[in-house]
C-alpha cells in the first residue's frame, strides 16, 4: 500500500520535533517526564458497577475501503480469496493501515508505552461522558473542547466518574461520507474539531479518565501540526478512539461503553468495535 504524501510530510515534521525533544531546549516536554507522573494509567481504572441494559448502540462506523483517512489516501484493500459459488464458502483478506475507520490510538502510537494488546481489559470498559460542542463546532470547524466545556458539563450532569471515557461530540460524524469530514483547505490543511491540550491537562490532573473518544479523524483538531494532545495523553497509558459514530444516540451521561480494540501483538492501534450499553 502506498504511503500517503501528507502522512510522509507529517512524519518528517514530527521527526524534527522528536529531534528537538532530545535537545536541552526540548527537555521540558520530553516524553520521559510524563511517565514518572502519577497520571500513568498502567493500573486498571475500573470499579464494580450495576447496569440496567435496555438498549445496545453501535458507536462504530461501517468501514468500506474508501472510508476517509487522516492522510487522504485509501488505507484498506479487500481481496476475495474464496467465494460461495465457486468454492463453497466466502473468505477475504485485508491490507489495512492500523489507523483506519473507527479505530484505536494505543499509547504506543505516540510513545513507547502499551501496545493495543497490552492495555488491561478493565481499561476497555467504562462509563461514557459525552461533551457536546456541536454549537461552536458548527460555527468554527477548528473548535476545541476546553476546560470550560468540561466544567459546564459537570455543572449540568455531575462530576466525571472514576474510570470514565470522555467523548467529544462535535457532530462531525454526520459528514463522514462527504469531503467535509477531512475538510481540507486549498493548502491541504484540515479543519475539524478536537480536544485542547488545556482540557487534557485538566483531565490528567483532576479526573481519573481512561480514554478519549472523538467523532473526527484526530484527537487533536484538524490544523494541528504538533499533535500536542496525542503527545500528552497517549504516553500516560491512556488511549483514544477516533472516528466514533452515533454519539447523538447515547445520553450525555449514563451509558457504559465496551471498546473492542485489536489484540494484535505490538499494534499501535487498529479498527475497533465500540459498543454502548444503556
Residues 114-153 that bind its own copies (CB under 8 A): 117, 121-122, 124-125
Q: Which residue carries 475501503 as its cell?
A: 65
Least spacing, CB of residue 229 vs its own copies, in Å: 13
Angle at 110 between CA 105 and CA 114, to 5 degrees: 70
Cell (9 digits) for 242: 477516533
The yes or no reply on residue 236 touching its own copies (CB under 8 A) is no
Alpha carbon distance 89, 87 (integer Å): 6
Least spacing, CB of residue 206 vs its own copies, in Å: 25
Residues touching its own copies, count (CB under 8 A): 79
Measured from the Cβ of residue 38, the count of other Cβ atoms closer than 10 Å reads 7
Residues 13-72 binding its own copies (CB under 8 A) are 13-15, 17-18, 46, 48-58, 60-65
Least spacing, CB of residue 218 vs its own copies, in Å: 12
* DSSP characters over 4-32: PHHHHHHHHHHHHHHHHHTSTTTGGG-HH
> For its own copies, which is the closer residue by CB, 94 or 135?
94
The yes or no reply on residue 273 touching its own copies (CB under 8 A) is yes
The yes or no reply on residue 264 touching its own copies (CB under 8 A) is yes
The yes or no reply on residue 175 touching its own copies (CB under 8 A) is no
> For its own copies, which is the closer residue by CB, 76 or 150?
76
CA atoms in the 13 A half-sphere facing the CB of 80: 8
> For its own copies, which is the closer residue by CB, 28 or 81?
81
Least spacing, CB of residue 150 vs its own copies, in Å: 26
Q: Which residue carries 490532573 as its cell?
A: 205
Residues 195-234 binding its own copies (CB under 8 A) are 227, 230
> For its own copies, which is the closer residue by CB, 112 or 140?
112
Cell (9 digits) for 277: 450499553
Instruction: Give Cα 129 distance to the centre of its chain.
Output: 14
Is the distance from CB of 254 to CB of 261 less than 8 angstroms?
no
Least spacing, CB of residue 149 vs its own copies, in Å: 27
> For its own copies, which is the closer residue by CB, 19 or 158?
19
Q: What dihedral angle (degrees, nearest 10) is formed by the CA atoms of 34, 271, 266, 19?
A: -40
Binding span for its own copies by CB under 8 A among 100-108, 144-152, 164-172, 190-198: 100-108
Largest CA distance in the chain: 65
Q: Which residue carries 450499553 as its cell?
A: 277
Amino acid at each position: 500500500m502506498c504511503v500517503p504524501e501528507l502522512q510522509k510530510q507529517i512524519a518528517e515534521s514530527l521527526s524534527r520535533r522528536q529531534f528537538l525533544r532530545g535537545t536541552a531546549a526540548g527537555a521540558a516536554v520530553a516524553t520521559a517526564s510524563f511517565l514518572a507522573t502519577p497520571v500513568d494509567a498502567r493500573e486498571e481504572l475500573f470499579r464494580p458497577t450495576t447496569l440496567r441494559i435496555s438498549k445496545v448502540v453501535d458507536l462504530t462506523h461501517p468501514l468500506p475501503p474508501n472510508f476517509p483517512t487522516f492522510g487522504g489516501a485509501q488505507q484498506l484493500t479487500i481481496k476475495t480469496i474464496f467465494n460461495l459459488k465457486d468454492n463453497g464458502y466466502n473468505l477475504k483478506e485485508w491490507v489495512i493501515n492500523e489507523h483506519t475507520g473507527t479505530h484505536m490510538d494505543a499509547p504506543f502510537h505516540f510513545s513507547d508505552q502499551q501496545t493495543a494488546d497490552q492495555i488491561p481489559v478493565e481499561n476497555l470498559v467504562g462509563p461514557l461522558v459525552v461533551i457536546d460542542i456541536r454549537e461552536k463546532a458548527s460555527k468554527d470547524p477548528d473548535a476545541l473542547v476546553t476546560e470550560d466545556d468540561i466544567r459546564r458539563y459537570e455543572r449540568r450532569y455531575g462530576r466525571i466518574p472514576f474510570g470514565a471515557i470522555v467523548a467529544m461530540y462535535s457532530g462531525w460524524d454526520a459528514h463522514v461520507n462527504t469531503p467535509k469530514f477531512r475538510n481540507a483547505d486549498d493548502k491541504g490543511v484540515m479543519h475539524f474539531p478536537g480536544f485542547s491540550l488545556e482540557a487534557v491537562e485538566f483531565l490528567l490532573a483532576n479526573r481519573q479518565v481512561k480514554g478519549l473518544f472523538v467523532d473526527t479523524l484526530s484527537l487533536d483538531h484538524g490544523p494541528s501540526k504538533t499533535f500536542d494532545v496525542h503527545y500528552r495523553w497517549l504516553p500516560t497509558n491512556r488511549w483514544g478512539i477516533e472516528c466514533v459514530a452515533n454519539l447523538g444516540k447515547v445520553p450525555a451521561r449514563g451509558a457504559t461503553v465496551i471498546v473492542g480494540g485489536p489484540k494484535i501483538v505490538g499494534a499501535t492501534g487498529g479498527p475497533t468495535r465500540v459498543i454502548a450499553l444503556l
